[in-house]
A and B are shown apart, each in its own frame.
Chain A
Amino acid sequence: MVHQQQLRISTRGRGTFDISRQVDEVIHDSGVKQGICQVFIHHTSASLILCENADPTVRTDLETFMKKIAPDGDSMFRHIDEGPDDMPAHVRTVLTQSSLSIPVDNGKDTLGTWQGIYLWEHRTHPHTRKITVTVMGE
Chain B
Amino acid sequence: MVYQDTLQLADHGEGAYEITDLIADFIKESKIRIGTCQLFIHSSSASLLIGDTADEATKNETAAFMAQLAPSSDNIDNKINASMDAIPEAMRYAVAQTSLSIPVSNGRPGIGVWQGIFLWEQSKHAAERKLTITVTGE
Contact = CB atoms under 8 A, between A and B. Distances in A.
B81 interface: no
Interface stretch (A8-16, A50-58, A106-114, A129-137): A129-137
Given A2-B34, A90-B52, A132-B110, A40 B58 contact: no
Given A38-B36, A95-B95, A76 B102 contact: no
B110 A81 contact: no
B50 A44 contact: yes
B49 A94 contact: yes
Interface string B2-35: 0000000000000000000000000000000011
A91 interface: yes
Interface residues of B, number: 34
A99 B110 contact: no
B55 A79 contact: yes
A119 B69 CA distance: 24
Given A38-B101, A42-B112, A99-B102, A91 B34 contact: no
Contacts of B102: 40, 99
B80 interface: no
A94 B48 CA distance: 10
Interface residues of A, number: 30
B77 interface: no
B62 A91 contact: yes
A133 B65 CA distance: 30
A87 B61 contact: yes
A99 B100 contact: yes
B137 A136 contact: yes
18 contacts: A4-B105, A38-B36, A42-B110, A42-B111, A44-B51, A45-B52, A76-B65, A78-B61, A90-B51, A90-B58, A90-B61, A90-B62, A94-B62, A95-B95, A98-B100, A99-B50, A99-B101, A136-B136
Interface of A: 2, 4, 36, 38, 40-45, 69-70, 76-79, 81, 87, 90-91, 93-95, 98-99, 101, 130, 132, 134, 136
